[in-house]
Each structure stands twice: as structure tokens, then as C-alpha cells.
Chains A and B, each alone.
Chain A
Amino acid sequence: MPELILPARLQGIEQVRSFRAPARLDYQFTAGLATTRFLRAVAEKRLVGQRCPKCQKVYVPPRGACPTDGVPTEEEVELAHSGTVTTFCVVNVQFYGQVMELPYVSALILLDGSDIPIMHLIQEVPYDQVHMGMRVEAVWVPDDELGPTLESIKYFRPNGEPDADWETYKDNV
């Protein structure tokens, strides 16, 4: 690219090379009937999924219908507070808005009694010891801080049980 010819007033001063161009999208998230029931149960320290009457799969958080069979999932199922790590990610990269100390582990956890994993944090264990099949349990916030949000669970931690058999979670990886 040929040299620019600058007017005198622009010579010998620090040039602008970049500018902030943030983008922001403000939404209202409406949970819907099924997820509202799930979140209200979370505020009572309970985990509740819904079972499909055709394929018998238990969805959590429930969306009110089975995506495979297209039928309402009306039967509610109380789920355990323990589950199996199906897959996980060790987060090493700083990003905007991050509140966690690096590195930390974000994992998909298949709660006992359910057929689809939820995403949550794994703590109280060195990040390099987290593995597929690890058995974990929910650590809840104090009762007076419970609310209709998955943040009512602080994180999951190993519960001391031996690793789950591959057959028990192979359909979820």
C-alpha cells in the first residue's frame, strides 16, 4: 500500500489503530410451563424431570414435549442429586464476563434416573483428575439462598463411588 500523505496536524502523533465496537442483545427469556415447574422445584432443592410416555426417556430440564416422539411429557420424575460425568471441558482461556478462576472444569452430568445430561461445574477435585464416567453429587447453596435457577447448585463434586460402567452412559456421548 502506498504511503499516506497526512496533513501537518496529523503528523508525529499517535495514530488511532482500533476502536471499541461492542454488540449487545437484550432478551427476555420465558421459561415455559415445563421448565418453570423444574425451576420452582430447584428452589425447593429438588430435581424433577419429565418422562416421555412413548420412548420412556426422562428429560431434564423438561421442555414439555419429547423431541423424538412429539408427544407431551406429563409424567414428572424425581431425580437423584448424583450422576455421571459423560463429557467435560477444562477451561483455560480467559473470556469476557468470566467469573471463574482458571483452569476450571465444565461438564455434562447424566443425573441418575434421567436420559439427557445437564451442564454444570465440577469442583473439589484437581481439574486433571476429572474423567468420563466419574460419579459426582450436587453441592447446593445454603437453603436461604435457594432460588429458581441452576445456580442453586454451586457445583458437582466426586461422591466417592467407583466409576460408572460405560454401558450406563454410552448413549449420551
Chain B
Amino acid sequence: MAEPDVLVAPSTIEYPFRRTTGPVIGAFLTALREGFLVGIKSSDGKVIVPPVEYDPYTADALTEIVEVGDAGEVTAWSWVAEPLDGQPLDRPFAFALIKLDGADTAMLHVVDTGGDPAAIATGMRVRARWKPPRPVGASEEDDATGAHRVGSILDIECFVPEGEN
């Protein structure tokens, strides 16, 4: 059957949401903007990254924000051979759980191995590749370009195998 002769047009729906963080995730994002990572001490002294407001076992409010390293160990990963629009990288990469030095939980981020799926493995060491600092006097439009750190999980462009950056 022949294709019917009908009009087709692109139609885009956009919602310009801005979300508030609360003080705990706010501290995590502030640290990212400043170029380092923090977690929070749980009731039993373990360090949870990203920080949470309440202890996952006792439900106590948690208060002690602590610094952790920007390198760590891949504990699990999943290869993305064909990245979709809006994903952090436009070339093949891995989503990975990374247990940062000084942390007791793993955090989700992406690992760039230059497109090579054989170059990632559970247990390998990776280090954050940071975007440049936010320029003094940067506007909201400048921030929206993604070119520099703004207080976002994407202030870390990706993690790369340790020793590569």
C-alpha cells in the first residue's frame, strides 16, 4: 500500500523546571561547583555519597557532611553503545556505580573509555574529569551552556580510567 499523502510536522513540548535542593543535596551540589565531592556520615559512621537527609536504617536526621575523594572503584557498570539525546556523553560510554575513596556507598555516574567496551571492568580505578570552574560574574545563560561548573552532577563531565587525566 502506498504511503498516504499527509502532512507531518515536528512538535516539541518543553518544561523549564527548576528544582530546589534542600540543605543536604545543596551542600553536595555546592561542593561539585567548587570542584570536590562530599558525603554524609550515617548513624553507624559510614559515609553515604551522594549525601541523604535521613539515615536509611534508623531514620535519624543526618548532619555531618564530610569530604570524599574524586577517584574510586567501579563496582558495577552497563555499556551504552548508542547514546541517546540528553545522555551525558555523545559517544559510547558506560553508566557505572563508583565507590569513591572514603565512601561506603557507590554513586552513579558515567565512565568514558574512549568508546572501548573492553576497557572497563568491575574493580577498576577511575577518576573524575571536571569541567572548568564557574567564571566570576557568569550569567544564568552562561550557566545553561554546560561549559563550566554550576552546581550540578554534570560538573563532573565523566570518570576516566585512573592515570588518563
Contacts and interface: CB of A to CB of B under 8 A. Distances in A.
Interface of A: 1-7, 9-10, 13-33, 35-36, 39-40, 96-97, 148
Counting chain B residues whose Cβ lies within 8 A of the other chain, the interface size class is: 35 or more
Contacts of A24: 12-15, 86
A30 B63 CA distance: 53
A112 to B, nearest CB: 26
Given A13-B34, A16-B33, A29 B8 contact: yes
- Main secondary structure, interface of B, reads mixed
A22 B85 CA distance: 14
A64 to B, nearest CB: 11
A58 B54 CA distance: 60
B61 interface: yes
A28 B9 contact: yes
Contact of B63 (A4, A14, A23): A4
B1 interface: no
Contacts of A32: 6
10 contacts: A3-B63, A4-B24, A5-B65, A10-B31, A16-B21, A23-B15, A24-B14, A30-B8, A31-B8, A32-B6
Contacts of A97: 14
Contact of B34 (A5, A9, A31, A39): A9
Interface of B: 4-21, 23-24, 26-27, 29-31, 33-34, 36, 38, 61, 63-67, 85-86, 143-144, 150-152
A36 B30 contact: no
A7 B38 CA distance: 9
A32 B7 CA distance: 7
Given A9-B67, A13-B30, A18-B19, A28 B12 contact: no
Given A5-B65, A33-B6, A10 B30 contact: yes
B151 to A, nearest CB: 4
A15 B27 CA distance: 7
Nearest to B65: A6
Contacts of B66: 7
Nearest to B51: A4
B17 A7 contact: no
Contacts of B34: 9-10, 13
A1 B27 CA distance: 15
B144 A20 contact: yes
Contacts of B27: 4, 6, 10, 15
